[in-house]
Structure 1
Amino acid sequence: MRLDVGLVTCLATFSGLAEAFWRLPCRGRAGLARLDPLVDRGKDSPHVHAIHGPDTFSMSADMNSLRDSSCTSCAVTQDRSAYWTPALYFMHENGDTEIVNQVGGMLAYYLLYGHNVTAFPENFQMIAGDTYKRDFKWPIPDPPTSEWSGEETSQAALRQKALGFNCLNYNQAAEPSLGRHFLPNKTYLDEHCTDGVRFEIMFPSCWNGKDVDSHDHKSHVAYPSTVMDGTCPEGYDTRIVSLFYETIWDTYAFKNKKGTFVVSNGDPTGFGYHADFIHGWESGVLEQAVKKCTSLSGRVEDCEVFNIQSEDDQRKCKFEVPTLLKNENVYTHKGGLPNNLAVQYGPAYAGPVSNTTATSTQAAPGASVSASIELSIDLPGIKGHVMLEQSTSKGSTTAPTWTATPTTSYIEQAVTQAVVYVEQKVIVLVDGKGTPLATETGALETVSTVMSTATNVISTVVTTPTAPPAKRDTHRHAHRHVRNGHHH
């Protein structure tokens, strides 16, 4: 894996109007930990995040605490915002996992799409994506935006189209950003993505004009009609800066190794990829940047508003991991993901099930395997019944292969499914008041296996490009900005 730091810029106009933007490098990673002050405020998060920003990031971080930091892992020193996404792991055949190397930190694009674009208000924060999604019911690949209609223009559809998994091969033409909304399977990655995979996510840029947050950290914002640009829905008429994250993971380092890639939230599909943002820019600076940083180069160095620090200084900025998590190894983990988080393939909506251990079950080529783990808990302060459905596949894959022709066809095949019923002992340690302190899990034991055969769609062959390729930035790709979309 190489990182080409040569900058390539691309200018584009539409109806005589050019789009301004800047590309914010965050070459340092402030930390890797189970922290998420938006969704899991004041406690540890179920899954690991790769976090960029200030050294005051914590379980209870907010705008004020971020601004009180002494450094940031990003290039512009006046920006103390926090940017974070789930990390990527490789799960070996024996179930052990290790972190995939993150290349070049991350890039946060600030795109000035739309009219009368405003800066984020004080205390603004938001989330993009849904950690529990495991399916995609819309056409693959996306039809031209001019053909979107009906449910395809709904916020539910736009949220999923805001995810991208860009197969990188710097010796070939670049794929379009947001051109593929799922994580390719390992065979495809080994054969085509010699420079890794660039995870991409677009945040909503239409705001209701009053709330700086909401109960789900999403409802106060919405996507414009074509995800990156277009018209805002009724009630979300204020256009804020369009925020777009890119993070490259060195998947090619695992070429020819047996196993699978899994996002840290237990998602091997990519449909549950997500990202978080807490505004922490120094007061007034982002407002100035929106007005003055209108260079089409995208370089933060080309805007006089910004104070730029070196890449070495960016990499030095680290936050202190809280005592609760300080001894947790989030780089490698035996028998599964950190926190023993369950791997859930879908297509059903995933659940917040953790403290489970993956098992390897042999299946015939072309067969799929699903395991049900049934847990009953009856302790002071805790009573419940949990059913975990876990699926894996060997041989044939259900992940569609992204290709460049105008039709979609489906391949059917007789698929043998082995439903394996297993038991697992779970011990929940509580104090005298019944408050949970820790959880211990035993090994999975197979109770019975039921076999069934059915004819299912086992593969999708996709045909039609979403947009002509044309982008490379500091990772050797250039952004091309037009009023009707974000093309690469």
Structure 2
Amino acid sequence: MKSAASLSVAAALLSGADAFWRMPCTSRTALARLDPIVDVGVASSHGHTIHGGSNFAERTSYDDLRKSECTSCQFSDDKSAYWTPSLHFVHDGGSTEIVPQIGGMLAYYQLIGTNLKAFPKDFQAVAGDSRLRNFTGPVPDPPTSAWTDDDMTQVSLGQKAIGFNCMNYNKNPEPSRYRHFLPSKDYLDENCADGIRAEIMFPSCWNGKDTDSPDHRSHIAYPNNIAGGQCPPGFETRLPSLFYETIWNTNAFKGKSGQFVWSNGDPTGYGYHADFINGWNIDTLQAAVNDCTSLSGLVEDCPHFAGSLQTQAQQGECKIKDLPKALDNDDCAGPAKGLCGNVPVQYGPGYANALKNGGHGKEPTVKPTLSSAAPVPTQSYASAKSKVEGVDVYNVQPSSAAASVYIVVAAAKPTPAYKASPAAPEPIKPTVTVAADIKNAPKTNEDGSILSTTTYTSAGTVYEVAIKEVAVTVTVEEPAKYKNRRHAHLHRKDRLH
């Protein structure tokens, strides 16, 4: 007899993928110093690129977002607020300008685990640490099969939840969260023709009662594999795994002298972070969590979103109407004399000084200072069998006590190479890019057994699934006493060989 595997079963077997949808927010509602989670009621210490519901301000609640007149996301009733730091280019003279975004932002809702609950009313959270300037784990990440208890602390998981993928559509894609630092300008110029993709995963284990906490993190936790795995005790309620992707066109500055810096004054990428305030109708979100099980990731394939999907042009029309007057003199896009909010650049590896919030947009008095030494870590891979060196430690001193702008003054020291256990595979040489080129993939093979192929994307990784027809021959040896009985039950398990 012949049988064909279903797409969903084949996909699950081939990739271990879970259902998900990705919410495109192809336009930002604002580029501004606003952060109603961390800097409530005042101007934020640094600029953010903001997507989602238009009713976003220095103070923003769930009810405020639900009253938004519009959203910059594709589903017109997703009034949630999504925001991250913006990426800027600092020219040698100290002037800054924002790096163009490509395609806005994607918010993935990965349905990993069982008995998932929708984000509750008033839920908000922060992922990442804006003041971090170092990575404390082995470089590169060990395979998950070799993770120790140290790899699975909440601090380690939070650092591994950040990624920066080099984009080059003419090469094979890098896996999600491949590297945890922003590559150097030279590396970006040489390898990343289509920019850099910033990624961050939110914790998905919830304590089941608090919609926020004093540090905006303690009410949630990462499962022990960042997205999948087991939740820690006290955080057994599973929420959708929220994952942001934002592509920045770093290639627009190819050949220009300077460096890239995040709006919080972080040139390393270790201080990348993200914020979320739920703005969904809770019943709609729970229905989508229950029913939107397509592996395509397309919101068009979720019946609960049908009839309420916006075009990119409609998304682009949604803007925050009334920014606070305290931001009137801000120029977060540039070209400007410094980072928005007069933010100093701090390299680390020590914990960065806290930034001041509530500024009134005065003209920057501190120009970002560039280092002649490499200001950001690098990561080199010689071969699959060679040692892997990750450089992320610097000796630093302030260039000016008044300016509080930090520069590298000594060569970086490599961290010890990770040594995998005998049972774990060695790290392999990675490839560079972002979207798999599957245009010329064969639709059948010589014997005609592949019926069709299809693709889907999960958290930035493109999977191709082949549905193959398999011929199965079953031989049944008939016992002698049944040879003359026309209706013998030949297909019982105990009579098959």
Query: Which amino acid in the other structure matches residue 427 of structure 2?
Result: T
Secondary structure of the 1:339 match is: coil
- Does the C-alpha gap of structure 1 residues 261 and 284 become closer, same or farther in structure 2, counting only changes over 3 Å? same
User: Do 1:21 and 1:109's aligned partners in 2 also have CA atoms closer than 8 Å?
Assistant: yes
Indicate the residue corresponding to 2:388 in structure 1.
408
User: Could you say if the C-alpha distance between residues 114 and 416 of structure 1 is closer, same or farther in structure 2, counting changes exceeding 3 Å?
Assistant: closer
Structure 1 runs of 4+ aligned residues shifted over 3 Å read 14-18, 353-356, 395-398, 402-406, 409-412, 415-424, 458-463, 465-474, 485-488
Change (3 A) 1:423 1:149: closer
| 2:19 counterpart residue number | 20
Q: Give the Å deviation of 1:110.
A: 0.4
Q: CA deviation at 1:69?
A: 0.9
Aligned equivalents of 1:455 and 1:318: distance in 2?
Answer: 45
Pair 1:464 & 2:427 matched:
yes
Write out per-residue CA displacement over residues 313-335 of structure 1, whole angstroms, 9 at most, x where no aligned residue. 00000002222213321111543
1:394 matches 2:382: no
Q: Distance in 2 between matches of 1:455 and 1:89?
A: 25
Indicate if the aligned counterparts of 2:95 and 2:336 stay in contact, CA closer than 8 A: yes
Q: 1:344 maps to which residue?
A: 346
> Which digits, 9 at most, give the CA deviation of each residue in 1:378-426, with x for residues without a partner?
xxxxxxxxxxxxxx532456612253635324799xx9988755556x9
The percent identity for this pair of structures is: 48
**8 Å contact from structure 1 (residues 473, 479) kept in 2:** no
Counterpart in the other structure of 2:332: 330
Matched residue of 1:284: which SS? helix
Give per-residue Cα distances to partners, 1:98-154, cap 9 Å, x unaligned.
000011010000000011111111111101000000000211111100111021110
Q: CA deviation at 1:467?
A: 8.3
- Equivalent residue number for residue 101 of structure 1: 100
User: For residues 167 and 78 of structure 1, what CA distance do their matches in structure 2 show?
Assistant: 33
**Which whole-Å CA distance do the structure 1 matches of 2:148 and 2:456 have between them?**
30
**CA distance in 1: counterparts of 2:242 and 2:256, whole angstroms:** 35
Change in 2 beyond 3 A, CA 1:185/1:15: closer
Q: Distance in 2 between matches of 1:137 and 1:401?
A: 15
296 and 96 in structure 1: CA distance in 2 versus 1, 3 angstrom threshold: same
Higher mean C-alpha deviation, range 17-26 or range 107-116: 17-26
Question: What letter matches 1:161 in structure 2?
Answer: K
Structure 2 distance, partners of 1:123, 1:473, is: 39
**Where does residue 89 of structure 1 map in the other structure?**
88
Cross-structure match for 1:438: none
1-structure distance, mates of 2:270, 2:435: 24
**Could you tell me whether the CA contact under 8 Å between 1:399 and 1:459 is conserved in 2?**
no
User: Which residue of 2 is the match for residue 436 of structure 1?
Assistant: none
Structure 1 pair 140–313 and aligned structure 2 pair: CA distance change class (3 A): same
Contact in 2 for aligned 1:131/1:265 (Cα 8 Å): yes
Instruction: In structure 2, give the amino acid aligned to 1:457.
Output: K
Residue 111 (structure 1) aligns with: 110
Larger radius of gyration between Structure 1 and Structure 2 = 2
Select between 42-51 and 320-329 the one with higher mean Cα deviation. Answer: 320-329
How far apart are 1:296 and its partner, in Å?
Answer: 1.1
**Paired residue secondary structure (1:277):** strand
What TM-score do the two structures reach when normalised by structure 2? Answer: 0.77
Contact 2:89 2:99 in 1 (8 A): yes
Deviation by residue 1:24-68 (Cα, 9 ceiling, x = unmatched): 100111110000000001110010000001111111011100000
Q: 1:285 to 1:410 in 2, by over 3 A?
A: closer
Q: Counterpart of 1:270 in structure 2: which amino acid? A: G
User: Between Structure 1 and Structure 2, which shows a larger proportion of strand residues?
Assistant: 1
After TM superposition, give the deviation of residue 18 of structure 1 in Å: 5.2
Change (3 A) 1:144 1:326: same
Q: Secondary structure at the match of 2:345?
A: coil
Please show how residues 162-177 of structure 1 align to structure 2 within 5 Å. 162-177=161-176
Paired position in structure 2 for 1:287: 286
Residue 265 of structure 2 is matched in structure 1 by: 266
SS of the residue aligned with 1:127? strand
The unaligned stretches of length 5 or more in structure 2 are 1-7, 357-363, 419-425, 440-454, 464-497
- Residue 326 of structure 2 aligns with an amino acid whose one-letter code is L
Distance in 1 of aligned mates of 2:366 and 2:271: 20
Distance of 1:293 and 1:417 partners within structure 2: 50
Output aligned runs, 1:38-437, within 5 Å. 38-306=37-305, 307-320=308-321, 321-332=323-334, 334-353=336-355, 357-358=366-367, 360=369, 393-396=371-374, 399-403=377-381, 405=384, 407-409=387-389, 420-421=399-400, 423=402
CA contact (8 A) 1:136 1:160 kept: yes
Structure 1 15/169 Cα, relative in aligned 2: closer, same or farther at 3 Å? Answer: closer
Q: Deviations over 1:223-254 (max 9, x none)?
A: 01111111111111111111000000000000
Number of aligned pairs? Answer: 418
Q: 1:252 to 1:232 in 2, by over 3 A?
A: same
Q: Is the 8 A contact 2:167 2:433 kept in 1?
A: no
Instruction: Describe the SS at the equivalent of 1:294.
Output: coil
Kept after mapping to 1: 8 A contact 2:379/2:391: no
1 CA distance for matches of 2:272 and 2:79? 24
